[in-house]
Amino acid sequence: MTVPPQAHTPRSLVAGSARVTIEPFGETFDVEAGESVLGAVLRNGRHLTHGCKHGGCGVCRAMLVHGDCRLADRTSYSLSDADRAAGVVLLCSTYLDSGDIGVDISETMDVSAAAFTAGSSVTAHECVVDGVTALTRDIRRLRLRLLDPPEMRFTAGQYVEVEVPGSGGRVYRSYSIANPPAEPDRIVLIVKRVPNGRFSAVLDTGLRAGDRLRVRGPMGHFALRLSHRPMVMVAVGSGMAPIYSMLHHLAARDNRRRVTFFYGARTDEDLFLLDELRELERAHPWFRFVPTLSRPERNAAAWAGATGRVTDVLARQPGTLRGHEAYLCGPSPMIDATIEVLLALACKRRHIFFDRFVPTG
Amino acid sequence: MTPKLEQVHEKSKRYDWGFDYARPNPKFPTRYLIPPTGKDPFRHLIRDYVRMESEKDNRVYGALDADVRYRNANLAEPRWVEAMKFAVPCFTDAEYQAVTGAGFLIASVRNQELRQGYAAQMLDEVRHTQLETALRRYYLKNYHDPAGFDIGQRALGNHPIGTLARASFQPFNTGDPIECIMCLNVVLETAYTNPLVVALPQVATVNGDHALPTTFLSIQSDESRHMANGYGTLMCVLQEEANVPFLQEALDRHFWHQHQSMDTLVGVVSEYYAVNRPWVYRDVWEEWVVDDFIGSYMSRLDQFGLRPPARLADVARFVDDMHHSAAIALAAIWPLNFWRIDPLTQADFDWFERAYPGWYARYGGLWERFAELSDPAAGRLLLQDLPALPPFCQVCHVPCVMPRIDAPETRIFTHEGTRYAVCSEGCEWIFGLNPTIYTGCANWWQRFHGMDLADVIVALGYVRPDGETLMGQPHLNAERMWTLDDIRRLGYEVKDPLAA
């Protein structure tokens, strides 16, 4: 039943993929190669009744109304011959090998149109800027307060899309939420200015306290998992944001699981929120913060902390990561390199969760 | 035109008592506030349900017939089939307790939609009980060593595993109805249904047994309905904030207790009674119980204030070792078993060392000793090497050698004049919640204190039809079986470790 971790990058249309239409709602989705119809529906943020997701329980019944599909063998116990002959399918075990299909759930499931779309709970909010702070030469903290609607319930690790002012509602940029879910009335973002970035351009010159911004959210599946496992968190740059939210959420929840946070930067001028993170360490014995600098020779002041790239520091840490969970946030090459290090340290792939930051410009 | 299923379903719900003319006294009291509205996620009418279940049954019995023709029972690894002698009655006990549990819920919960779900569950559990009885009958009639299958549920009832099973499954139908649901539907049927009913058949298959997978996969197709009953009931009672602390305590209690029995049972059967092993039990536990039950199912309940079980980290710690301790303990008491144990070989040692580094240093010597002493000519029992018999935990009834035989976390205390042992802090806490639940059960060794081991075996009924040969054996060699005389020659006197 585990939902695999979703990467942040949007999925594009795969050549040769087929499509499924869900009646009575009339929505059509691409089904990727090897993906079940139920998988495609859930991936697109829609809801249909389902249970075991492997053909055993028979809950995800639907009628096939057009096209041809293949039912996995595992449905032999859960779908009777009479049902099969009548065109009943189990969506978790329905695969498209030859073209598009249509299924109808109106006779087989009790799902209203509202419930169908409730899988997607994204709302648009009017916000006011409370402040813009320069944390380093290229990192900004943007504090927003939600006006209408005044609250947005999110989980630590999620992100929002911010409308670029002056774009007429056409251009959005995605940023992870840095404050914890216990503060649903505000959004704190940590933004890295990129050269020629649409939002970066506005951030330094055109945004002041009192200005209005429109925001859509919450989005994303990067999230803390409930378990007993100790955690390592790894981030660089503005990847700090979702981790920061997670740490404060854990602190508010009487967490007991050990957390080690490796944060990589170039020089000490690129570090930020140091005091806040050291304070977290002091207040919570389960938390250890390990900032590391890859270019300490260029520091303004002496540095007693770890040096090297964050992946190298992680690789050097003593002991195994067997039985750990890992939460990573940063650019793709860093994510890929960190995953290799984690696997080599005996962390399981399915216990590695990440959010790839891809600059849009 | 046939009316829509939902319309018929809604109409059928209107045939219920309104009770606005009388005050209904609860047949079984509960400390929970139960709102009158819920949602039955499995809309079904009896005529459709019966047709569906009837077809499922036909498939299982048909497949068992085919297994007879293919001589499957004797082509499977005997090391595995021997485990079925105690495992199948355990599951049957659970199914039967669940029959009465579902009935208990129908009589207790005054919410019509939820009662629909419980009614279907009760019928399911009856079917499951029957399927497992049929499975046992199949082994009895077709396996070359029927001793142990032939004395039915009595075999389990007399054995320490029987006490473990009874203690584990009785909370399905005893106590507060909502807590019965927490134990049965939420903990056992949501967290543990996958290791039991989906993963264990994988072990059966790679050891050549097709009868158990056929039966269990048919059972599994109903389990999701039971999970939905649990989820539906939880969603209903979580609407009342006052219920949350009770639910948390129930979850903490039942998660610990079910882990103690189920993780031990499935770990032992899947690793020690198999020649071929498709996975390491700890990995299965991580995936199904932690990632799915805690990570996925429980995360949906987080918003209502229900937290993961308090002792989750301790459970993880115990899962690494418990079943190893239990397996060697069962081997040490082999004369008191009603099945045969195949000694482990070097290939087995190698597997265990790879899967659990450090295993050989802790357990290898004991298994080698067990093999050394397996022929009756050896004239000695592993039991005689032990300084004393381990007591059984008064709560979960595992032997108090947990989690590791070299580092047990046993607690021994006196309550109202009687000495008790518990295996762990978790069980000590459970005992303290309501000692009356646990103090009524005698400690297993007590009845046999001072008796010759041979007389204990006779009292248990674990003797083959010739009146001499033991049912339990420390090997699979039909030519060299131990007899009551072999045991009497040892002069071993059973001593209750808790006796004053």
Q: Which residue of A has its CA nearest to B296?
A: A2
Q: Which residues pair with A90 in a beta bridge?
A: A61
State the Cα–Cα distance between residues A188 and A152, nearest whole angstrom: 12
A256 neighbourhood in chain B, CB within 8 Å: 313
The pTM for the full model equals 0.87
Query: Closest approach of chain A CAs to the CA of B499, in angstroms?
Result: 39
Q: Do A3 and B227 touch (CB under 8 A)?
A: no
**Interface-testing mutation among B42, B53, B196, B202, with chain A (most A C-beta atoms within 10 A):** B42
Tell me if chain A has a CB within 8 Å of the CB of B295. yes
Q: Which residue of A has its CA nearest to B3?
A: A107
Cβ-proximal residues to B255 (8 Å cutoff; 6+ apart), any chain: B187, B191, B309, B311, B312, B315
The pLDDT value recorded for residue A98 is 83
Tell me if chain A has a CB within 8 Å of the CB of B279. no
State the Cα–Cα distance between residues B407 and B425, nearest whole angstrom: 14
Question: Given its phi and psi angles, is residue A315 left (phi above 0), alpha (psi -120 to 50 degrees) or beta?
Answer: alpha
Q: Do A228 and B287 touch (CB under 8 A)?
A: no
Tell which wins on pLDDT, B421 or B106. B421
Q: In 3D, which of A222, A215, A221, A242 has the Cα closest to residue A152?
A: A215
Q: Would you call B15 exposed, middle or buried from its count of C-beta atoms within 10 A (0-12, 13-18, 19+)?
A: exposed
B223 neighbourhood in chain A, CB within 8 Å: 56-57
The pLDDT value recorded for residue B249 is 97
State the Cα–Cα distance between residues A308 and A294, nearest whole angstrom: 4
Query: Closest approach of chain B CAs to the CA of A236, in angstroms?
Result: 27
Tell me if chain B has a CB within 8 Å of the CB of A174. no
Per mean pLDDT, which range of A16-25, B163-172, B283-292 is the poorest?
A: A16-25
Q: Do B315 and A228 touch (CB under 8 A)?
A: yes
State the Cα–Cα distance between residues A77 and A79, nearest whole angstrom: 6
pLDDT tens string, chain A, 361 residues long: the values are 333 344 333 333 444 569 999 999 999 999 988 899 999 998 887 888 876 677 876 778 999 999 999 999 888 777 888 889 999 999 999 999 889 999 999 888 878 887 787 666 788 999 999 999 999 999 999 999 999 999 999 999 999 999 999 888 888 899 999 999 999 999 999 999 988 888 988 888 889 999 999 999 998 889 999 999 999 999 999 999 999 999 999 999 989 999 999 999 999 999 999 999 999 999 999 999 999 999 988 887 889 999 999 999 999 988 899 999 999 999 999 999 999 999 999 999 999 999 998 877 7
The helix/strand/coil state of A67 is coil
B51 neighbourhood in chain A, CB within 8 Å: 80, 82
Q: Which residue of A has its CA nearest to B302?
A: A226
B302 neighbourhood in chain A, CB within 8 Å: 226
Which residue has tokens 């829509």?
B4
Q: In 3D, which of A181, A199, A221, A172 has the Cα closest to residue A8?
A: A221
State the Cα–Cα distance between residues A112 and A110, nearest whole angstrom: 7
The helix/strand/coil state of B271 is helix
Asked if residues B470 and B464 have their Cβ atoms less than 8 Å apart, the reply is: yes
Q: Do B228 and A350 touch (CB under 8 A)?
A: no
pLDDT, tens only, B20-35: 777 767 778 889 988 8
Per-residue DSSP letter, B452: B
B287 neighbourhood in chain A, CB within 8 Å: 2, 350
The pLDDT value recorded for residue B111 is 77
Question: Rounded to 5 degrees, what angle do the CA atoms A110, A114, A115 make?
Answer: 45
Whether B19 has a pLDDT exceeding 90, the answer reads: no
Maximum distance among all alpha carbons in chain A? 77
Q: Do B218 and A77 touch (CB under 8 A)?
A: yes
State what percent of residues in chain B have pLDDT above 90: 78
CA atoms within 13 A on the CB side of B279: 18
Residues in B 183-212 with any Cβ partner in A closer than 8 A: 198
Query: Closest approach of chain A CAs to the CA of B159, in angstroms?
Result: 34
Taking the alpha carbons of A271, A275, A276, A281 in that order, is the dihedral positive or negative?
A: positive
Q: In 3D, which of A4, A98, A110, A3 has the Cα closest to residue A48?
A: A110
Residues in B 432-491 with any Cβ partner in A closer than 8 A: none
State the Cα–Cα distance between residues B148 and B135, nearest whole angstrom: 14
Q: In 3D, which of B128, B169, B161 has the Cα closest to residue B258?
A: B169
Q: Do A1 and B296 touch (CB under 8 A)?
A: yes
Tell me if chain A has a CB within 8 Å of the CB of B296. yes
State the Cα–Cα distance between residues B157 and B397, nearest whole angstrom: 13
Question: Given its phi and psi angles, is residue B397 left (phi above 0), alpha (psi -120 to 50 degrees) or beta?
Answer: left
A227 neighbourhood in chain B, CB within 8 Å: 290-291, 294-295, 308, 312
Q: Do B220 and A56 touch (CB under 8 A)?
A: yes
The pLDDT value recorded for residue B10 is 79
Tell me if chain A has a CB within 8 Å of the CB of B43. yes
Query: Closest approach of chain A CAs to the CA of B222, in angstroms?
Result: 6
pLDDT, tens only, A217-238: 998 889 999 999 999 999 999 9
The pLDDT value recorded for residue B126 is 97
* Crossing angle for the helix pair B322-332 and B312-319, to the nearest 10 degrees: 50
Q: Do B296 and A3 touch (CB under 8 A)?
A: yes
Q: Do B55 and A81 touch (CB under 8 A)?
A: yes
Q: Which residue of B has its CA nearest to A58?
A: B221
Q: Do B291 and A227 touch (CB under 8 A)?
A: yes
Residues in B 228-267 with any Cβ partner in A closer than 8 A: 228
A110 neighbourhood in chain B, CB within 8 Å: 6, 41, 43
State the Cα–Cα distance between residues B160 and B150, nearest whole angstrom: 18
State the Cα–Cα distance between residues B395 and B335, nearest whole angstrom: 25
Chain A, chain B: beta-carbon pairs less than 8 Å apart? 80
Q: Do A56 and B198 touch (CB under 8 A)?
A: yes
Output the CA–CA distances (angstroms, integers) from residue B118 to B12, B46, B52, B221, in the order listed.
16, 13, 17, 16
Q: Do A51 and B4 touch (CB under 8 A)?
A: no
State what percent of residues in chain A have pLDDT above 70: 94
B225 neighbourhood in chain A, CB within 8 Å: 57
Tell me if chain B has a CB within 8 Å of the CB of A57. yes
Cβ-proximal residues to B22 (8 Å cutoff; 6+ apart), any chain: none
Of A2, A56, A58, the CB nearest to B295: A2
Within its chain, how far is the Cα of A305 from the centroid?
30
**Interface-testing mutation among A53, A61, A228, with chain B (most B C-beta atoms within 10 A):** A228
Cβ-proximal residues to B422 (8 Å cutoff; 6+ apart), any chain: B393, B394, B395, B400, B410, B411, B413, B428, B431
The pLDDT value recorded for residue B1 is 61
Residues in B 315-374 with any Cβ partner in A closer than 8 A: 315-316
The helix/strand/coil state of B129 is helix
Phi/psi of residue B344, nearest 5 degrees? -75, 150
> What average pLDDT does range B372-378 have in this prediction?
97
Residue positions counted in chain B: 500
| Residue A145 identity | R
Q: In 3D, which of B451, B478, B456, B481 has the Cα closest to residue B468?
A: B481
Q: Using pLDDT thresholds of 50, 70 and 90, give the confidence band for residue B225.
A: confident
Residue positions counted in chain A: 361
Q: Do A56 and B308 touch (CB under 8 A)?
A: no
> What average pLDDT does range B156-183 have in this prediction?
95
Of A82, A108, A226, the CB nearest to B294: A226
Query: What are the structure tokens assigned to A103, written together?
Result: 């299924």
Q: Do B228 and A51 touch (CB under 8 A)?
A: yes
Tell me if chain A has a CB within 8 Å of the CB of B28. no
The continuous run of DSSP H or E covering A287 comes out as strand A287-293
Tell me if chain B has a CB within 8 Å of the CB of A167. no
The pLDDT value recorded for residue B117 is 86
Q: Do B43 and A256 touch (CB under 8 A)?
A: no
A3 neighbourhood in chain B, CB within 8 Å: 296
Query: Closest approach of chain A CAs to the CA of B33, in angstroms?
Result: 27
Q: In 3D, which of B164, B155, B94, B103 has the Cα closest to residue B129?
A: B94
Q: Which residues pair with A330 in a beta bridge?
A: A356
pLDDT, tens only, B425-444: 999 999 999 999 999 998 99
Q: Using pLDDT thresholds of 50, 70 and 90, give the confidence band for residue B38.
A: low
Q: Do B297 and A1 touch (CB under 8 A)?
A: yes
